[in-house]
Amino acid sequence: MVKHAKPEDVGDPKQFLSKEQKIKLRRERDLDDMNQVMKTSYGKGFIWRILEKCHMFHTTSHHEPTRMAVMSGERDIGLWLLDELREADPNAYIKLYQEKQKRDDK
């Protein structure tokens, strides 16, 4: 037997979030997700490895144009990730680097 959802009062504006409110809530969730990942040393290590894979710490120049284009696209993802980190926590990169130093010292 299929249960049907209770019909909503489409005339009641309190029952519906505006498009802007939904976008804002989704963005807050995204940033909260990032902060949750950054709370653990495992999460910070994972993010650092992604940044390394995205060529954030070396050049994307290559003698093969196709390979350089691929590396540039990967770097764009890394730049996006850094921007997300910075928006979630302005000190996120420093925290990532400190965690990397701890791991390298072990």
The string of pLDDT tens digits covering residues 55-94 is 999 999 999 999 999 999 999 999 999 999 999 999 999 9
Could you please report the per-residue DSSP string of 14-28? Answer: GGS--HHHHHHHHHH
How much is the pTM?
A: 0.76
Token pair of 36 as six digits: 């949750």
DSSP 58: S
Of 77, 82, 60, nearest to 69 by C-alpha is 60
